[in-house]
Amino acid sequence: QLPDQQKMSESPLSWFRGVYLPPALHPLNKTLVKGGKWKDVDSAQEKRRSFLHDFCKKYNSRKQLRTHLVHLVSRIYVEDRHKVLYCEVPKAGCSNWKRVLMVLNGLAPSAHNISHDDVHYGKHLRKLDSYDLKGIYTRLNTYTKTIFVRDPMERLVSAFRDKFEHPNSYYHPVFGKAIIKKYRHNANEEALKTGSGVKFKEFIQYLLDSHRPVGMDIHWEQVSNLCYPCLINYDFIGKFETLEEDANYFLQLVGAPAELKFPKFKDRHSSDERTSAEVVRQYLKELSKEERQLTYDFYYLDYLMFNYTSP
């Protein structure tokens, strides 16, 4: 997206260095879309794209970039057959998206019989940072790049419920123990030993603490830090709130097989109620007014760039 001569003289790294304005918004290639039923989805898509682009133009004009290119693309999955780049945002349909990428890639016949462990620990899909600089650069410039996002508070509460309200052999001993030790006064021995039973208020205290006892995690990291939407020019912005129609429209755009539809099933804890706005309200009641405000501030950029209504 730079003049050809300039492209030749600049290395991929220098392209991402220094002051950087988002590249021009290119029209989506809609030649493979069949039928007229996608009009509303397409119109919503165009609004999201131009909103994000305008936001980035304003926000990014004086911002120095200090992030290495390879780090910028470390959450992006590659599907070479249909030339798709998908940036993973946990708790926004990512398990089912990875299933779909596996089907597109010819690694599975259907999205419905791929287990959760296969999706997340099977190492079937390549990430963009596993390619050399030329490979990264070429794919960023020529593949269809997509990101799927979710209301930040819903995503946060969904992550808390998934990781702390169910048995978990990683999050309880690693995060739970550290959180209970630092934020629970008079914690009993059992809680300190297992790390189970973290309360939402304690989790928020950890999240907002600049001296966290354990680091951040991708399940509650801001989308602005996972996918860098003002530096990588995403062609398609899907939302969890309209997940199925957005995903199925995107599959049309990239020429996916007609029989491939985005799966509807809930990946884990399928008997649990989905994290809705009402569920979120119940959790936020546990926080003080100040904690609620600070949590919103923490996700302020995500609210702004994806045009979510502040709670």
pLDDT tens-digit readout, 66-79: 667 888 999 999 99
Q: Is the pLDDT of residue 177 over 80?
A: yes
The mean of the pLDDT values for the chain is: 88
Label residue 272 by pLDDT band (50, 70, 90): confident
Label residue 103 by pLDDT band (50, 70, 90): very high
Q: Is the pLDDT of residue 9 over 60?
A: no
Q: Determine the Cα–Cα distance for residues 222 and 43; give it in Å rounded to an integer.
A: 26
Q: Specify the pLDDT at position 124.
A: 81
Closest CA to 159 of 227, 102, 240: 240
Q: Where are the domains of the chain?
A: 38-152+221-275+301-306
Q: Determine the Cα–Cα distance for residues 96 and 77; give it in Å rounded to an integer.
A: 13
Q: Determine the Cα–Cα distance for residues 69 and 141; give it in Å rounded to an integer.
A: 14
> What is the mean predicted confidence (pLDDT) over 262-273?
73
**212-245 per-position pLDDT tens digit:** 999 999 999 999 999 999 889 899 999 999 999 9
What are the tokens at 78?
A: 């590659």
Q: Specify the pLDDT at position 23.
A: 61
Q: Is the pLDDT of residue 182 over 50?
A: yes
